[in-house]
Amino acid sequence: MQLAALEGGFENAPIASAQAFRGIMTAMACPGTIQTVAGAAPPAPLSVAAGAAVLTLCDAETPVHLAGRFDTDALRDWITFHTSAPLVAANQAMFAIGDWTDLQLSDFAIGTSEYPDRSATLIVECAELAAQGAALSGPGIKDSAALSLPEISAFQANAALFPLGLDFIFTCDSRLAALPRTTKVS
Q: In whole angstroms, what is the distance from residue 160 CA to residue 60 CA?
A: 32
- Whether residue 72 has pLDDT greater than 90: yes
The chain-wide mean pLDDT, for the chain, equals 95
What integer pLDDT is reported at residue 2 of this predicted model?
A: 64
Averaged pLDDT, 41-57? 97
Q: Which fold has domain 3-181?
A: Rossmann fold (3.40.50)
Q: CB count, 10 Å around CB of 8?
A: 20
Q: Residue 173: pLDDT band by 50, 70, 90 thresholds?
A: very high
Q: What is the DSSP string of 6-72?
A: GSSS-TTHHHHHHHHHHHHHHHHHSTT--EE-----PPTTS-HHHHHHHHHH--TTS-EEE-GGG--
Residue 151: what residue type? E
- Whether residue 1 has pLDDT greater than 60: no
Q: Which of 56, 41, 8 is nearest to 174 (CA)?
A: 41
141 or 6, which is more confident: 141
pTM of the model: 0.96
Give the neighbor-by-neighbor strand order of the sheet with 175-179: 35-36, 175-179, 167-172, 121-125, 95-99, 64-66
Rounded to the nearest 10°, the torsion over CA 22, 90, 111, 171 is 30
- Whether residue 118 has pLDDT greater than 80: yes
Q: In whole angstroms, what is the distance from residue 84 CA to residue 82 CA?
A: 6
Q: Is 111 left (phi over 0), alpha (psi -120 to 50) or beta?
A: left
The answer to whether 124 touches 83, Cβ cutoff 8 Å, is: no
Q: CB count, 10 Å around CB of 51?
A: 29
What integer pLDDT is reported at residue 3 of this predicted model?
A: 60
What integer pLDDT is reported at residue 8 of this predicted model?
A: 80
**What are the extents of the domains in the chain?**
3-181
- Whether residue 39 has pLDDT greater than 80: yes
Q: Residue 144: pLDDT band by 50, 70, 90 thresholds?
A: confident
